[in-house]
Amino acid sequence: MNTVDNRIASGEIKLPRPPAPAANYVGAVEQGGFLDVSGQIHTDNGELKKGKVGADVTLEEAIGMARIASENALAVAHSVRGSLDGLRVHRLRVYVVGAEGFHEQHLVGNGASDYLIEVFRELGTHSRTSVGVAALPFGAAVEVELTFQVAS
């Protein structure tokens, strides 16, 4: 069977080391049939490009950042549950720090959406909000927050 966990074990899907919480919260909470993963930014091997999309960060870079943030969110979910099998992506929230006049938050969100569908296939389809914000922790340009439905 070609489950998400089997694809991780085979190396088809690679997850980074889950980022540790940066403040007084936990990485994820499972309750009432849902798993909520705390917001994750686009740290890649400890590196973080700071700035605003449309000024310091290109749209293409921001789309990649949304993917990396989603990879980090999956790493957190996997570390908390020990498995990604039995999860269905329920809701995705994407926060984007954009330069004045930047209105392409939805395109940045596609970086996360496309990755989740790539990993979970039909169980990766989800509802989504992509919003522009004034600032994110550590000067990040993109943050992703996920809610999964857990199979009973």
Domain ranges of the chain: 31-150
Top pLDDT among 152 and 131 is at 131
pLDDT at 1: 67
* pLDDT above 90: residue 52: yes
Q: Band of the pLDDT at 147, cuts 50, 70, 90? A: very high
Residues 130/94, Cβ–Cβ less than 8 Å: yes
Residue-wise pLDDT tens digits, 82-129: 999 999 999 999 999 999 999 999 999 999 999 999 999 999 999 999
Between 47 and 55, name the one with better pLDDT. 55
**Residues 6 or more apart from 87 whose CB is under 8 A from it?**
4, 35, 77, 81, 120, 123, 148, 149, 150, 151
Does position 13 have pLDDT exceeding 90, yes or no?
yes
Q: Which CATH number is associated with domain 31-150?
A: 3.30.1330.40
101 contacts: CB under 8 Å, gap ≥ 6: 54
Q: What's the predicted TM-score (pTM) here?
A: 0.96
End-to-end Cα separation, the chain, in angstroms: 19
